[in-house]
Amino acid sequence: MRSTEINELELSKKLRDRNAWALKVIYRIFFAYATAIAAQVKSATVGPKEAFEMAMTRYEGRTFTKQVFQLEESWFVNCVLRECHIFYSGGAYLWENTTFENCDWKFQGPAAQTVNLLVQIGLLKQGQTPPTKLQSSGQA
């Protein structure tokens, strides 16, 4: 065998070994990521007939005053929220027989973009605020 053939064979073997090593690393990263996602999904609390992307905290039969909530992270059942700050980014939400009194609603990300679109096309008025008292059930 000529030396160039030996060098090509050695180089080919080194590349195969390096590719195999890279594939093993990628597989391990993917497996760790998939395992973490599966653990999050398994531990997520979900509402009836709904599967949410993130865990939600269930509040039942409580009254809150001047608290801060991320709507996508909260599930309210028979609650009253007074003068609370509620942030909404456009994800899934759930509330049942809940009253919101004088709450400050903040829309972020996709939710804010949707509000801006509704203002631009005339379905909402600029500066329009939600009712001061709202009692309902809702989900998305």
- The structural domains of the chain, with segments of one domain joined by +, span 1-43, 57-139
pTM above 0.75, yes or no: no
**pLDDT for the residue 60:** 95
Q: How is residue 111 written in tokens?
A: 């939710």
pLDDT at 14: 65
Q: What stretches in the chain show pLDDT beneath 70?
A: 1-8, 11-54, 140
φ, ψ for residue 50, nearest 5 deg: -130, 140
Residue 45: the pLDDT is 46
Which pLDDT score, from 0 to 100, does residue 11 have? Answer: 63
> Which pLDDT score, from 0 to 100, does residue 125 have?
85
From CA 108, how far away is CA 112, in angstroms rounded? Answer: 5
Cβ pair 91, 74 in contact under 8 A? no
pLDDT in the model for residue 20: 52
Residues 36 and 76: their CA atoms lie apart, in Å, by 28
Res 56: pLDDT: 85
Among residues 64, 93, 92, the alpha carbon closest in space to that of 78 is found at 64
